[in-house]
Amino acid sequence: MDRDWSGVASEALATSLIGMTFLALLMAPANARDIILSWQETVQLEHKDRTARLKRLADKSLRASPRFYEERVPQSELPSSFRTDIPVLRVVFPQRVFFDTDQSDLRHEAEAVIDVVAEALRREASDTAVFIAGHTDDRGDDAYNYALSVRRAESVARALDRRGVRQASIWRVGFGEAIPLVPNSTDDAMARNRRVEFLFGRKAEAVGVWLSKQEAVVCASALAEQREECLKAFARLPRVEAAPVVTGSISRTLVQPPQSGAAVAVPTIESPRLVVVGPPVPPVSVGPEPLARTAAVVVPQERTVVTIAKDEPVIIDLRERRILVERLER
């Protein structure tokens, strides 16, 4: 069998770039060797190294390789203190790798995938974040699919946390049927939409911002009429919650998931004390039909630039394309 050398080549490139950086420091004058690079200066190299490492570990240990996508969040959409664009690595596995039909208990085969992710995370910086996102097809009602996607993401997140990964913060989030990659028109298409995604970034804020802008992903390659149909499900789920894993459990939540049988899967936000992360983003229209606006969150100007702590639930507002946290007195 021919071997795909792309992962090896990518890792070699990342390693050589990092090596050249440190070699340059070693060859610098003695009074320059005490320079410590900031995370902003290393974030791009770390992203390349992360991608190459995950590809290498997946090729070595897994029967089916996942799909890798590189996203990028511009600094203009992040807290001003970051002062750099931040790449986000999106790693996509089909749902059947993790779960049997209509189940949220992990299959035995899933353990190898989680081992690979855990091994990769052990070599990360301490402020790296990974969000595990669950997605379903459109069979069943909105509320049931939303709740199922959350349970599945939580199963993966807990299993990853049990590996003792402390270098990265872990969040879980479910989107139900709201973000199909393709129209749910065939069995193969529905299988593609049933998936688990791992999203890696040096900062949780970057991953959250990218997740809030997934309207562009919804049936992106479909015909205009098909995409409009897909966007109807997207518009019915205006906000979701990413809950962090804290010491072996999911932390307190801000969102009450809808009950199965509900007409529309719209989680109820229980806390009014929400603060925008990063610069405010102007409201946008979502979906093919006008939608009623929810009450705008009033954000004092001096509190618009905040960061996310490891134990904070994150509200992802798909309609307004922004993320929010509950800022409590600490």
pLDDT in tens, 92-125: 999 889 999 889 999 998 999 999 999 999 989 8
pTM: predicted TM-score of the whole model, two decimal places? 0.82
Residue among 137, 118, 132 at smallest CA distance from 58: 118
Mean pLDDT in residue range 182-209: 95
Answer left, alpha or beta for residue 83, where phi above 0 means left and psi between -120 and 50 means alpha: left
User: Distance (Å, rounded) from C-alpha 261 to C-alpha 143?
Assistant: 7
Percent of the chain with pLDDT over 90: 55
Mode of pairing for the β-strands spanning 314-317 and 239-246:
antiparallel
233 within 8 A of 146, measured Cβ to Cβ: no
| Number of neighbours of residue 178 by Cβ within 10 angstroms | 28
pLDDT at 300: 42
The letter for the amino acid at 104 is S
Which amino acid is residue 214, in one-letter code? Answer: Q
Largest CA distance in the chain: 69
Amino acid, res. 224: A
Backbone dihedral region for residue 235 (phi beyond 0: left; psi -120 to 50: alpha; all else: beta): alpha
Q: What pLDDT does 294 receive?
A: 43
The CB density around residue 137, as the number of other CB atoms within 10 Å, is: 19
Q: What percent of the chain has pLDDT over 70?
A: 75
Which domains occur in the chain, in start order? 39-282+304-326 (3.30.1330.60)
Cβ atoms within 10 Å, residue 17: 13
* Spatial distance between the Cα atoms of 165 and 172, rounded to a whole number of angstroms: 15
